[in-house]
């Protein structure tokens, strides 16, 4: 049975997520603030965490930082605010998804299912040593590493997924719909700017080699290499 930790200072939010998650067969634990979530994660493991941003004691971003020091648990952030800064900050920390309140419980469950499925299958995706080199950019698909001018680049898991997918389909015009479906693993019903946010983060990570990531206006993106 998969285990879900729901962290929110609003009891009604915790109850509605628990109701739907338990209906789908998940085991649910609740925390009323970030500090409580950190303490719980020190003694227990979870398959996914649903984490609110604005909470007393310790906010969601700070709680994630503490948890990530010792645990690698996928996180879906909940927030009443949908500003790009908040999303970028969350993705830079390494969260998997971001949901703006008010939300549909069914949509949250869909995202929980996808995040858990993706993380459980990720170790099975390696099928041989494969490296792409273009000027000072080197992408190692097997070891999941990216180096720029010989320096290993630290990126979030989703940035790695995105650069690997783009590079493996180099020279091909990829629509936004294809990228969201194949990289995120489902038809994305939320804010489609999530893709644009990740592209922005990825370009920042690639430095001068962002030039290989070409925007196709009205279509999507293409990796030129």
pLDDT at 119: 64
pLDDT at 8: 96
Average pLDDT, the chain: 86
Query: What's the CATH architecture for 3-119?
Result: 3-Layer(aba) Sandwich (3.40)
CA–CA distances in Å: residue 62 to residues 65, 71, 90, 160: 5, 14, 10, 23
pLDDT at 15: 96
What class does CATH assign to 131-223?
A: mainly alpha
Q: Could you read off the pLDDT of 115-172 as tens digits, one per residue?
A: 887 665 433 333 445 788 888 898 888 788 999 998 999 988 889 999 999 988 887 8
Question: Mind giving me the DSSP string for 86-116?
Answer: HHHHHHHHT-SEEEESS--HHHHHHHHHHHH
- Nearest C-alpha neighbor of 221 from the set 202, 207, 208: 202
What CA–CA distance (Å, rounded) separates 8 from 2? 20
Q: Could you read off the pLDDT of 71-121 as tens digits, one per residue?
A: 888 999 998 876 777 888 888 888 988 898 888 898 899 889 888 876 654
Asked if 3-119 and 131-223 have one fold, the answer is no
- 131-134 β-sheet, strand order: 131-134, 137-140, 145-148, 151-152
pTM: 0.58
Question: Where are the domains positioned within the chain?
Answer: 3-119, 131-223
Parallel/antiparallel/unpaired status of strands 131-134 and 48-52:
unpaired
Can you read off the two tokens belonging to residue 145?
């590493």
């Amino acid at each position: 049975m998969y285990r879900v930790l729901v962290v929110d200072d609003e009891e009604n939010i915790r109850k509605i997520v628990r109701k739907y998650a338990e209906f789908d067969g998940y085991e649910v634990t609740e925390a009323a603030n970030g500090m409580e979530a950190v303490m719980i994660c020190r003694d227990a493991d979870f398959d996914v965490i649903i984490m609110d941003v604005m909470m007393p004691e310790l906010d969601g971003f700070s709680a994630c930082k503490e948890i990530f020091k010792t645990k690698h648990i996928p996180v879906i952030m909940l927030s009443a605010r949908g500003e790009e800064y908040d999303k970028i900050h969350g993705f830079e920390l390494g969260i998997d998804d971001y949901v703006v309140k008010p939300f549909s419980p069914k949509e949250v469950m869909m995202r929980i299912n996808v995040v858990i499925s993706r993380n459980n299958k990720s170790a099975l995706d390696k099928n041989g040593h494969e490296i792409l080199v273009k000027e000072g950019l080197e992408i190692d698909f097997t070891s999941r590493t990216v180096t720029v001018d010989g320096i290993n680049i630290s990126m979030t898991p989703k940035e790695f997924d995105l650069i690997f997918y783009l590079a493996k389909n180099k020279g091909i015009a990829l629509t936004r719909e294809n990228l969201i479906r194949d990289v995120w693993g489902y038809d994305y019903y939320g804010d489609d700017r999530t893709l644009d946010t990740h592209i922005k983060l990825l370009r920042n990570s690639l430095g001068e080699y962002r030039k290989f990531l070409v925007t196709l206006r009205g279509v999507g993106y293409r990796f030129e290499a």
